[in-house]
A and B are shown apart, each in its own frame.
Chain A
Amino acid sequence: MAIYTKEEARRIMEKALSFSTADACEINMNGNESGNIRYARNTVSTSGHRSNQTLVVQSNFGQKSGVATIDEFDDASLKKVVERSEELAKLAPENPEFMPPLGPQAYDDSITYSEATASITPEYRAEVAASSINPAAAKDVTSAGFLNDSSGFSAMLNSNGLFAYNKSTNVNFTVTMRTNDGTGSGWVTRDFNDVSKFDAVEASNVAIDKAIMSREAKAIEPGKYTVILEPAASIGLLQNMFGSINARTADEGRSFMSKEGGGTKLGEKIVDERINVWSDPLHPDVPTPTWNGQGQPLKKMKWIENGVVKNLAYSRYWAKQKGVDPVPFPPNAIMDGGNASLEDLIKSTRKGILVTRLWYIRGVDPQTLLYTGLTRDGTFYIENGRIKHPVKNFRFNESPIIMLNNLEELGQQVRINGNLIPYMKVRDFTFTSLSDAV
């Protein structure tokens, strides 16, 4: 079993630390049990189970670091791995950006672990597959899906007295449903820490309905359209934006957050004033560990407030250079929404496009955060408050900054990839060409 309790992990890491002769030593330990099932063509194709456990030792002599890993935790192995990290450190070049390990920290108790998820069985995974395959087959639809569940722990101990421990579980599910005539395709994704919140039948039916609804799509001219983006559609663009709020690249002049004439956009309004984005490791719908890989405590943090950039992320090294406090990268993104349901947003739309999902998103210009990609698995034309017909997929070229400046309305929030993102209606979203892909 690769999951160790807080006490077991601490005992093993303290034993390893007792062998250290370096100036500083930091030990990370983690273990994970995961299971998966994959299906396609309405039958199971592969399934598997993985168990991993690792102990990583980083030793430092001055600014020289060496890292060694091991997956056995008896005393002889622990001694060996510490010695190896020290040998490597002595041979390593000096790293002028080296930061010494942190001292003891206080962390909140996390809410990332669910016994229900940790207890998933192969039989449960097979049932999930059947929840897609059986209703699909009954409706002349072919399903292809993947369920992955994991349960694990992470722990950290260093020679300056820091100790951290966390246990977490996750379940991720996606399924693609394609009509057997090849003209319709639907998709759904769900992710949770606690599998008891997951309803495989409900999720599979959403994808089946979308597949059937999207049959025989009509081509309409590419151009600028009002769009309703489901959270699964906007998340790809938003995550790329959130991932770029790095103070160092902004200060260096090579980020969309860099300003003309030098400096950064910290404190400036960059998007519509209704946009509020924050991170919170203790949010009950999207919990994360309460500390990061550097041992820094993670707290609720505002990133964009009323459209204004409130914080940029500072690594410990860059914060020291700039004389500010370090700001850890956000572990999740929570974007404030409104009360409108998807149906409400459709009802209030005179002419627009409903987008289920954006796919194959790639950066085009880091200066403007321009991205390209395509709609997929359910794209519909809305006229006078209702879905009129499916449309052929589009290629888009759009920047999340422009998108969030063209905001019309925010709807209810949905958990997506560990984040909480609202449905949103946006005007003038740029579609540049049509795709024949279904």
Chain B
Amino acid sequence: MKRRDFIQYAGLGTGALMVPSLLMGSNIPAEALLNPGLDVTTKKLLADVALNTAKSAGATYADARIGRYLNQFVFTRENKVQNVQNTESFGIGIRVIANGTWGFASTNNVTEDGIKKATMQAVAIAKANSKIQKDPVKLAPVQSHGEVSWKTPIKKDFKNVPVSEKVDLLLSANAAAMENGANFVNSALFMVNEQKYFASTEGSYIDQDVHRIWPTFGVTAIDRSAGKFKSRSALSAPMGLGYEYMDGLDSEKIEGPAGLIGYRNSYDIIEDATAAAKQAKEMLNAKSVDAGKYDLVLDPNHLGLTIHESVGHPLELDRVLGYEANYAGTSFATLDKWKSGDFKYGSDIVNLVADKTQVGSLGAVGYDDEGVKTKKWDLVRNGILKNYQAIRDQVHMIDQNESHGCCYAQSWNDVQFQRMPNVSLEPGKEKYNIHDMIKDVEKGIYIAGRGSYSIDQQRYNFQFGGTVFYEIKNGKIEGMLNDVAYQSNTQEFWNSCVKICDKDDYRIFGSFFDGKGQPSQVSAVSHGSSTTRFKDVNVINTGRTI
């Protein structure tokens, strides 16, 4: 499943009824989501079967991941429920090192016999592949954690909320959109619970309970006489939170320009759907942008994707080294630039951090999928490139001896590898709010929400659109714009960063379905920032006639 296909589902096209079973597992009744699954004692016994079998078969290292993945997805359009899916996937993945080479096998037969068989298969694969291995795997040391557990700090478990309540909420949001001028509306709720048990021959037994939620919609307004249509998608973010994200608390709202509302850790879907319908109608007659240089004021719900593409991906060490050359590509942020110690990634106020511990983020876990305790580290400090994202078998290649703790597998059925942690822009130190970002801009554009995005295979040249665009003239919002996209080069763009709002404006953007690897795996990741201004960015007009 490629990322684009997921985006299509997420974009709620007409085919958004079924999410492929590949990621989902088997359909179950909603009540069955509440079954507790195996207890920790049983999981430890089963994991030890894998570890002991691997050692007896000659492995020098082994880890076992017993995973139970629960999903609930609700899809609606206008006044109809299109689909409700509850799924469960359960199994074990075993990874070993034998003869200095990785081997991996998985099975849904989580019994002593099934686990022994899969483990022997993993060892056999490692031994077979060792014949063509050039350099033996070198693992950075890791602390033995003993028996520990971690849980996403949620207030409301989605599994305890009746499906009817979720359906009612989506249908109310749809009704609000239709009452305010929408011609069509699709909405969806994605809810995920990963119950992961990790054990390794390093002496760690880690039980984790991870929750994520994503409410979203797409509203379309149509002018049939002109043959035109415009869509406005939700300004929500997928979050590492429980169902409390749907509470719509006023205290978590930030008032933006042109009546836009920004949402921190609580989302008001009915309010956003109402605004979306009005804005989609307004877009039908909005002014087409004049191409040229503009100062851009970027909302966190937009800037997150720019961070993802232009900072998150180029600083993945496996891309830098060439392991992803045939798929996602390589990176402009080469080792020589990093080693120079003075590579100017951005302006002096640009501080970009990787963080697997951030509360509310999609990437937050206590331990990664190879038993490393998660942490926060600098990628760019005061504009200078400082570090990459690397895991246990990679850090020695950048002369470091501690994994960054960002190893992840999308399920028990897939092998874990290096994935992007949350990568965020630190808020500015000076006291600025959104209005301070706009008031001294002579000629600019304010952009909120994600839109079209494309970047080259080494992450130099990019083009981004957005959900809504407003013209700024002489410090004031003038009105809505259409046909806006900005094109820049990563280093040039981050060096044009001139002003960042303070921590009170900080919000998290996220992506549920970041894709990487062959065969491809998805992972969920967040990107936090405050509203930020960039000077003299090239804006093109994307309007065409066919």
B457 touches A376 (CB 8 A): yes
A248 touches B80 (CB 8 A): no
What's the least CB distance linking A378 to chain B, in Å? 13
A364 touches B461 (CB 8 A): no
Task: Give the residues in chain B near A95, CB-CB below 8 Å.
Answer: 80-83
Task: Give the residues in chain A near B325, CB-CB below 8 Å.
Answer: 40, 142, 144, 176, 178
Q: Which of A196-204, A272-280, A347-355, A396-404 touches B?
A: A396-404
Q: Which of A66-74, A283-291, A297-305 touches B?
A: A66-74
Whether A393 is near chain B, meaning CB under 8 Å from some CB there, is yes
Bound Cα distance A87, B30 (Å): 11
Size of the chain B interface, CB-CB below 8 angstroms: 69
- The verdict on A261 contacting B518 (CB below 8 Å), with A359-B457, A376-B457 known, is no
Cross-chain contact of B14 among A45, A54, A248 (Cβ < 8 A): A248
Task: Give the residues in chain B near A374, CB-CB below 8 Å.
Answer: 454, 456-457, 461
- The verdict on A436 contacting B452 (CB below 8 Å), with A93-B81, A96-B80, A260-B227 known, is no
Whether B453 is near chain A, meaning CB under 8 Å from some CB there, is yes
Interface range for A = 35 or more
Whether A246 is near chain B, meaning CB under 8 Å from some CB there, is yes
Whether B224 is near chain A, meaning CB under 8 Å from some CB there, is yes
- The verdict on A144 contacting B463 (CB below 8 Å), with A259-B227, A361-B454, A402-B544 known, is no
Whether A253 is near chain B, meaning CB under 8 Å from some CB there, is yes
A254 touches B456 (CB 8 A): no
Mark interface residues in A32-64 (1 if CB within 8 Å of B CB, else 0): 000010101101111110000010100000000
B224 touches A253 (CB 8 A): yes
Whether A323 is near chain B, meaning CB under 8 Å from some CB there, is no
Bound Cα distance A397, B84 (Å): 38
- The verdict on A372 contacting B26 (CB below 8 Å), with A40-B322, A359-B457 known, is no
What's the least CB distance linking B132 to chain A, in Å? 5
Whether A146 is near chain B, meaning CB under 8 Å from some CB there, is yes
Task: Give the residues in chain B near A91, CB-CB below 8 Å.
Answer: 29-30
What's the least CB distance linking A267 to chain B, in Å? 16
- The verdict on A69 contacting B129 (CB below 8 Å), with A93-B167, A437-B456 known, is no
Whether A225 is near chain B, meaning CB under 8 Å from some CB there, is no
Q: Which of A104-112, A152-160, A212-220, A427-435 touches B?
A: A427-435
Bound Cα distance A434, B489 (Å): 10
Whether B229 is near chain A, meaning CB under 8 Å from some CB there, is yes
B452 touches A364 (CB 8 A): yes
Whether B260 is near chain A, meaning CB under 8 Å from some CB there, is no
Cross-chain contact of B456 among A48, A393, A401 (Cβ < 8 A): A393
Whether A25 is near chain B, meaning CB under 8 Å from some CB there, is no
Task: Give the residues in chain B near A425, CB-CB below 8 Å.
Answer: none
Whether B99 is near chain A, meaning CB under 8 Å from some CB there, is no
Whether B183 is near chain A, meaning CB under 8 Å from some CB there, is yes
Whether B545 is near chain A, meaning CB under 8 Å from some CB there, is yes
Whether B73 is near chain A, meaning CB under 8 Å from some CB there, is no
Cross-chain contact of A146 among B327, B452, B465, B546 (Cβ < 8 A): B327
Mark interface residues in B12-36 (1 if CB within 8 Å of A CB, else 0): 0010000001000011111000000
Whether A167 is near chain B, meaning CB under 8 Å from some CB there, is no
Nearest residue in A to B227 (C-beta to C-beta)? A260
B546 touches A368 (CB 8 A): yes
Whether A385 is near chain B, meaning CB under 8 Å from some CB there, is no
Bound Cα distance A33, B425 (Å): 44
Bound Cα distance A111, B292 (Å): 54
B84 touches A93 (CB 8 A): yes
Cross-chain contact of A365 among B332, B455, B542 (Cβ < 8 A): B542
Bound Cα distance A59, B184 (Å): 29
Mark interface residues in A336-370 (1 if CB within 8 Å of B CB, else 0): 00000000000000000000000111111111111
B29 touches A397 (CB 8 A): no
Bound Cα distance A372, B457 (Å): 14
B544 touches A368 (CB 8 A): yes
B542 touches A397 (CB 8 A): yes
Bound Cα distance A129, B77 (Å): 47
Mark interface residues in B469-484 (1 if CB within 8 Å of A CB, else 0): 0000000000000010
Whether B321 is near chain A, meaning CB under 8 Å from some CB there, is yes
Cross-chain contact of B453 among A66, A261, A362 (Cβ < 8 A): A362
Whether A88 is near chain B, meaning CB under 8 Å from some CB there, is yes
Q: By CB atoms of chain A within 10 A, which of B326, B452, B463, B538 has the most? A: B326
Mark interface residues in A400-438 (1 if CB within 8 Å of B CB, else 0): 011000000000000000000000000000001111111
Whether A282 is near chain B, meaning CB under 8 Å from some CB there, is no
Task: Give the residues in chain A near B519, CB-CB below 8 Å.
Answer: 36, 48, 148
Task: Give the residues in chain A near B329, CB-CB below 8 Å.
Answer: 437
Nearest residue in A to B230 (C-beta to C-beta)? A367
Nearest residue in B to A246 (C-beta to C-beta)? B14
Cross-chain contact of B452 among A122, A176, A362 (Cβ < 8 A): A362
B546 touches A369 (CB 8 A): yes
Bound Cα distance A19, B30 (Å): 23
Nearest residue in B to A54 (C-beta to C-beta)? B21
Mark interface residues in B441-467 (1 if CB within 8 Å of A CB, else 0): 000000000001111111111010100
A43 touches B167 (CB 8 A): no
A360 touches B456 (CB 8 A): yes
B455 touches A44 (CB 8 A): no
Whether A174 is near chain B, meaning CB under 8 Å from some CB there, is yes
What's the least CB distance linking A355 to chain B, in Å? 14
Nearest residue in A to B465 (C-beta to C-beta)? A364
- The verdict on A435 contacting B463 (CB below 8 Å), with A95-B80, A364-B542 known, is no
Task: Give the residues in chain A near B321, CB-CB below 8 Å.
Answer: 41
Whether B372 is near chain A, meaning CB under 8 Å from some CB there, is no
Bound Cα distance A73, B205 (Å): 35
A87 touches B29 (CB 8 A): yes
> In the complex, which residues 158-197 of chain A have their Cβ closer than 8 Å to any Cβ of chain B?
174-176, 178, 187
Whether A231 is near chain B, meaning CB under 8 Å from some CB there, is no
A41 touches B323 (CB 8 A): yes
Nearest residue in B to A369 (C-beta to C-beta)? B546
Bound Cα distance A248, B13 (Å): 11
What's the least CB distance linking A181 to chain B, in Å? 13
- The verdict on A399 contacting B415 (CB below 8 Å), with A258-B227, A261-B224 known, is no
Bound Cα distance A438, B329 (Å): 10
A437 touches B332 (CB 8 A): yes
15 new A-B contacts, CB < 8 A, other than A38-B326, A142-B325, are A41-B322, A48-B104, A48-B519, A93-B81, A93-B84, A95-B80, A146-B518, A174-B326, A254-B222, A260-B226, A261-B225, A359-B457, A401-B546, A435-B456, A437-B456
Chain B interface residues (CB < 8 Å from chain A): 14, 21, 26-30, 80-84, 102, 104, 108, 125, 128-129, 132-134, 167, 183-184, 220, 222, 224-229, 231, 321-327, 329-330, 332, 415, 452-461, 463, 465, 483, 485, 487, 489, 518-519, 538, 540, 542-546
Query: Can you offer 29 A-B residue contacts whose CB atoms are under 8 A?
Result: A48-B415, A48-B519, A68-B27, A85-B27, A88-B29, A91-B29, A92-B84, A93-B81, A95-B80, A97-B82, A144-B322, A146-B518, A176-B326, A252-B184, A253-B227, A254-B183, A258-B227, A360-B456, A362-B454, A365-B542, A366-B231, A368-B543, A368-B546, A369-B546, A372-B454, A372-B463, A376-B457, A437-B457, A437-B460
In the A-B complex, list the 4 residue pairs whose CB atoms are closest, starting with the nearest: A260-B227, A435-B461, A144-B325, A437-B456
